[in-house]
Structure 1
Amino acid sequence: MQLFHLRGVDDNMSCQSHTPFLRGHLRLVATMALGMLLLPWSGLAAQNLSHDRTQGTFTAHFNRQSLTNVLEELTRVTSWQVYLEPDTQLSVTATFTNQPTGEALRRLLGSLSYALVPQPGQPPRLMVFRTSVEEATQLIVARQKAPQDSARIPDELIVVLKPGQSIDELAKALGAKIVSFANNHNAYRLKFESEAAAQAARARLEQDPAVASVDNNYWVQRPGDIDLLRAGGGRPLVLTAKPIGDGHPIVVGLIDTAVQSLGKDLDAFILKGISVAGEANISPDSPTHGTAMAYDILTGLSQLLPPGQASSVRLVWVDVYGNNPQTTTFEVGIGALAAIQAGANIINFSLGGEGESTFLRDILQSARQKGVLPIAAAGNVPGTVPVYPAAFPEAIAVTAGDRQGQIATWANRGDFVDAVAPGSSLVPYGGRTFFVSGTSTATAFASGYAAALADKTGKNSAEVERLLLELIGVKKP
């Protein structure tokens, strides 16, 4: 079956694979339409790689550069979706000018195989691999070349008032617009005419006795799309919900996008959702990120339950994105507050950003005091850069593991990381199977494990955390 191109093919990129598709639940058996795709791309300028959108050519200069860095630059200048087989290493040394796509890829990728897959209505997908195309599962994300403070929204502030105080007159006096608020918690997102106006207002607010706290607001990017497998995947999840009964049930709060139906049996685990960013218009054609995370939480739950045992665990989702391409730490924070108010005693943050928000950390500290366990994604960029809320000491920070149980090469391994869990899964939806990977998935699995431990043992959050870290904790010096 003519599925992908191997290193050394001609310019028409036609070749047959001699690698059988035997890699368990990640098998890909559908035909991909391949070939050269030369389109007039536009993108950000890259330091060592440029792309001429008119001629469809590349110019590059790399001297012993890591493969990951090269692929990040390729993603940046083309907008391609680039996937790499994990643990693939290559030192790239290449210098050329105005080379067509096929020749440029051959010079950059050396002995590695690759497939450039057209996608109707979307940028092409480049799969880079050593063994077989289905092993190219690591999404390459181009790191932004910007100051660390770039996530800060310069003309906004988060203001928390003391009980009994009113925001309206204060906002009017400061010339601020109230973008969003959580009245039950006296928290407000304020927007000003300029960064200078915001900073002047901050100086006044910090001296105002009616104000409990003032903080910056930060962007949090929307999670990526879920990838469709062109053929069937793993076995469907079989899990039975039992009545909650009296007492306090284990509820996982999912701070993410909206969640769609998981099917009749699994829908019994899902409580009524909450939106703090407006109602989302959801396409029925594919699962949202929140839907995939909900499925993974339930998968993690099932893995620690005896076969056939029903569970009274429930999940409440909070959509903090709506129809927006990003959210902010304010919505993430009030989303967490909404989940706690709805009964959540475990909070899953399969998201994160660079902004070290005092507002969000205060919420996590308060959650801990109430016995709520925050579990957050460490981030998909290799290295040790802090990602929040995972890097807050109040959160259990989860990174992704490879098949050997080691931290995946593409995942964050900072000293704030507490646990490692599987970094990929298959999610059935609408009669098709979708592939999802990242520390988001690992975090969802960890939340499912925590819920199962709490449900089985009846222990408090401190004991559940101890048991969870005994199960998947990272050994620290």
Structure 2
Amino acid sequence: MASKDSRASTSINICLAALVAAGVFGSAQAAAPDTTRVIVAFKPGAAAKVKAAVGAARGAVKHEIFGMNAMAIEVPNAALKGLENNPNVEYIEEDVVRRPFALTTPSTGTPYASGQSVPYGIKMVQADQVSDSLAANRKVCIIDSGYDRAHEDLSGNNVTGEYDAGTGWWYTDENHHGTHVAGTVAAINNSGTGVVGVNANQQLKLHIVKVFGKDGWAYSSSLATAANKCGAAGANVISMSLGGARASKTEQKAFDTQYANGVLSVAAAGNDGNRIVSYPAGYASVMSIGALDENRQWATFSQYNSKVELSAPGVGVLSTVPMGGGIEAALSVGSATYAPGAMEGSPLKTATGPLADFGIGDKTNSAVAGKVCLIQRGTVDFAVKVQNCQNSGGLGAIVYNNVAGAFGGTLGTTATSIPSVTATDADGAAMLKQLGQSATVSVKAANYAYYDGTSMATPHVAAVAALVWSFAPTCTGAQIRTTLNNSALDLGPAGRDTKYGFGLVQAKAAHDRIKSLGCGK
């Protein structure tokens, strides 16, 4: 369903890309086989009567939706008909599942302080050409898995958040996804540290609503509450790198209400690479965002349909993850330094030894004892290749691609004791000419990671919306939306299309358009 991260990964890989899956939300247990979880919308003032009816049906209230006359309940299947006929009930619908959907240059000192990496997406959306000096008048609400408040590149931001009984405090992030999203929005411009976000100078206000716990998914009822809490917190923009395959009337009402109140909501189109519409991205009141690579090409995992409105960088996006939650790989052979990918599941170690050709790694070979194995991808699992190297006495493993480009590998549940990394086909060919030279393979913990996904594209658009809007705070959310669409860089077929929407979001073009034409032109 998702494109694998080609450079680094965390406990949720690139972004938990599945659209529909079973599981639990927070500490709540999944419904028993003979019960069902639904949303009940009721008439104003009828909450107590509906709760009593749920109790009489031997059901339980699971979540009271903030700001709406609705609640999520779990009841025996046999009791649903009676509740549907209750005169205090307006409608009942399934409480559907929502999941999160998971290349730099050195800063030159202008406009960002030196000693940082500038993710390619920052320049691609023109964020480096528009000052965020006025961004203090805007607030972005991020609905996701939390925010690592202790992160070196995030701790200085103006950020508030919500406590949730199911997921806990907003300032922890067990899944890493929310912190990665937040870094794209507002990683701080601080000399010698990490990366920069679209709004990098600590002016933008952030509000965090944590709907994903360590289990990595939530119900639509929780998302409706989250949207309403964003609105109550004074958010101008809502960023949602999440979705599911079915619509929810209650959820749609929440986003429609926020849109009517002037809030601009932005959501990921989804990572299944097909024409299916995911939600909330599919609602008319929400912008659906597709993903591009560093060459402005459509990412093959990005869902494409008539709802896709804008596109943004979503392949190999470097951003923040909870401190120590990322993996950084390094590789050198002789005097040459390479840019490897991390092998998920590799121990955090460094190994040095002569480089030896280990073929495709399908069997042990004592000739590589005390050496670093160079292994071609193909035929057998990565775990088997690395384990065979280890069992042969190898000190470390490099698996290079058998097709063009980089790739991400995983050892799965196999425990190995030697560090292992991945390499491109070109780098592999170069290293085959360096056999016998000293090779060093290193895998260590990091505070940053490369992720792929429409999850990564979405915060680019949300952050650009806030940045542009900060110069014209009297514009409405709908007008900012129109301006972003009209100023986008057209890609693919001329005009709006299913893969790129109106095109690549452009901060300076949108800013200049408002300056010359006014709001919503």
Could you say which TM-score interval applies, normalised by the shorter chain?
0.5 to 0.7
Deviation of the 1:364 alpha carbon: 1.0
1:162 aligns with 2:50: no
Q: 2:53–2:83: 8 Å Cα contact kept in structure 1?
A: no
Q: 2:21–2:97: 8 Å Cα contact kept in structure 1?
A: no
Equivalences, count: 331
Provide structure 2 residue ranges, at least 5 long, that are not aligned to the other structure.
Answer: 23-29, 103-114, 123-127, 190-195, 324-445, 498-521
Deviations 1:198-235 (A, max 9, x none): 3x245324xx2x234422211123555xxxxxxx9934
Question: For the residues of structure 1 that align with 2:174 and 2:212, how far apart are their CA atoms?
Answer: 17
- Residue 94 (structure 1) aligns with: none
Question: For the residues of structure 2 that align with 1:317 and 1:161, how far apart are their CA atoms?
Answer: 28
- Residue 73 (structure 2) aligns with: 190
Q: 1:176–1:192: 8 Å Cα contact kept in structure 2?
A: yes
Which of 299, 312, 318 is the aligned partner of 2:209?
Answer: 318
Deviations 1:247-304 (A, max 9, x none): xx31111111111126467434342211335244899898721111111112699777
Q: Which amino acid aligns with 2:45?
A: G
Question: For the residues of structure 1 that align with 2:175 and 2:66, how far apart are their CA atoms?
Answer: 32
Q: Which moved more, 1:314-323 or 1:154-163?
A: 154-163
Cα distance, 1:214–1:257 mapped onto 2, change above 3 Å: same
Cα distance, 1:455–1:262 mapped onto 2, change above 3 Å: farther
Cα distance, 1:448–1:394 mapped onto 2, change above 3 Å: same
Q: 1:399–1:412: 8 Å Cα contact kept in structure 2?
A: yes
3-state SS in 2 of match to 1:393: coil
1:469 aligns with 2:469: no
- Residue 135 (structure 1) aligns with: none
Deviation of the 1:160 alpha carbon: 2.3
Q: Which moved more, 1:293-302 or 1:446-455?
A: 293-302
Deviation of the 1:446 alpha carbon: 0.3
Q: 1:293–1:441: 8 Å Cα contact kept in structure 2?
A: yes
Question: For the residues of structure 2 that align with 1:360 and 1:314, how far apart are their CA atoms?
Answer: 25
Cα distance, 1:219–1:468 mapped onto 2, change above 3 Å: same
Question: For the residues of structure 1 that align with 2:262 and 2:480, how far apart are their CA atoms?
Answer: 11
- Residue 266 (structure 2) aligns with: 375
Question: For the residues of structure 2 that align with 1:281 and 1:275, how far apart are their CA atoms?
Answer: 5
Q: Which amino acid aligns with 2:469?
A: A
- Residue 453 (structure 1) aligns with: 468
Q: Which amino acid aligns with 2:206?
A: L
- Residue 347 (structure 2) aligns with: none
Question: For the residues of structure 2 that align with 1:139 and 1:273, how far apart are their CA atoms?
Answer: 22
- Residue 318 (structure 2) aligns with: 426
Q: Which moved more, 1:460-469 or 1:426-435?
A: 426-435
Q: 2:148–2:173: 8 Å Cα contact kept in structure 1?
A: no
Q: 1:255–1:319: 8 Å Cα contact kept in structure 2?
A: yes
Q: 1:215–1:357: 8 Å Cα contact kept in structure 2?
A: yes
Cα distance, 1:455–1:233 mapped onto 2, change above 3 Å: closer
Q: 2:147–2:173: 8 Å Cα contact kept in structure 1?
A: no
Deviation of the 1:182 alpha carbon: 3.0
Q: 2:180–2:319: 8 Å Cα contact kept in structure 1?
A: yes
Q: 2:143–2:211: 8 Å Cα contact kept in structure 1?
A: yes
Question: For the residues of structure 1 that align with 2:209 and 2:173, how far apart are their CA atoms?
Answer: 21
3-state SS in 2 of match to 1:272: strand
Q: Which amino acid aligns with 1:468?
A: L
The structure with higher relative contact order (CA 8 Å, sep 6+) is 2
Question: For the residues of structure 2 that align with 1:262 and 1:350, how far apart are their CA atoms?
Answer: 22
Q: Which amino acid aligns with 1:156?
A: R
- Residue 250 (structure 1) aligns with: 138
Cα distance, 1:140–1:407 mapped onto 2, change above 3 Å: farther
Question: For the residues of structure 2 that align with 1:189 and 1:332, how far apart are their CA atoms?
Answer: 12
Cα distance, 1:456–1:291 mapped onto 2, change above 3 Å: same
Question: Percent identity over the alignment?
Answer: 22
Question: For the residues of structure 1 that align with 2:11 and 2:64, how far apart are their CA atoms?
Answer: 36
- Residue 440 (structure 1) aligns with: 455
Q: Which amino acid aligns with 1:426?
A: L
Which of 274, 285, 295 is the aligned partner of 1:394?
Answer: 285
Question: For the residues of structure 1 that align with 2:21 and 2:55, how far apart are their CA atoms?
Answer: 37
Q: Over aligned residues, Cα RMSD in angstroms?
A: 4.2
Question: For the residues of structure 2 that align with 1:283 and 1:369, how far apart are their CA atoms?
Answer: 29
3-state SS in 1 of match to 2:45: coil
3-state SS in 2 of match to 1:185: coil
List structure 1 runs of 4+ shifted beyond 6 angstroms. Answer: 138-146, 151-154, 236-245, 281-287, 300-305
Question: For the residues of structure 2 that align with 1:464 and 1:416, how far apart are their CA atoms?
Answer: 18
Deviation of the 1:168 alpha carbon: 2.4
Question: For the residues of structure 1 that align with 2:241 and 2:76, how far apart are their CA atoms?
Answer: 32
Deviation of the 1:399 alpha carbon: 0.6
Q: Which amino acid aligns with 2:250?
A: F
Q: 2:134–2:470: 8 Å Cα contact kept in structure 1?
A: no
3-state SS in 2 of match to 1:469: helix
- Residue 278 (structure 1) aligns with: 166
Deviation of the 1:242 alpha carbon: 7.0
Question: For the residues of structure 2 that align with 1:140 and 1:280, how far apart are their CA atoms?
Answer: 20
Which of 82, 88, 93 is the aligned partner of 1:215?
Answer: 93
Q: 1:178–1:188: 8 Å Cα contact kept in structure 2?
A: yes
Q: 1:277–1:319: 8 Å Cα contact kept in structure 2?
A: no
1:355 aligns with 2:259: no
Provide structure 1 residue ranges, at least 5 long, that are not aligned to the other structure.
Answer: 1-71, 76-80, 86-116, 126-137, 225-231
Q: Which amino acid aligns with 1:177?
A: A
Cα distance, 1:233–1:300 mapped onto 2, change above 3 Å: closer
Deviations 1:47-99 (A, max 9, x none): xxxxxxxxxxxxxxxxxxxxxxxxx7xx9xxxxx95579xxxxxxxxxxxxxx
Cα distance, 1:345–1:283 mapped onto 2, change above 3 Å: closer
Question: For the residues of structure 2 that align with 1:417 and 1:339, how far apart are their CA atoms?
Answer: 23
Q: 1:420–1:473: 8 Å Cα contact kept in structure 2?
A: no
Cα distance, 1:261–1:299 mapped onto 2, change above 3 Å: closer
3-state SS in 1 of match to 2:278: coil
Which of 55, 63, 85 is the aligned partner of 1:172?
Answer: 55
Cα distance, 1:263–1:145 mapped onto 2, change above 3 Å: closer
Deviations 1:143-200 (A, max 9, x none): 8799xxxx99971211122222223212123332111113643321110123x433x2
Which of 299, 307, 316 is the aligned partner of 1:408?
Answer: 299
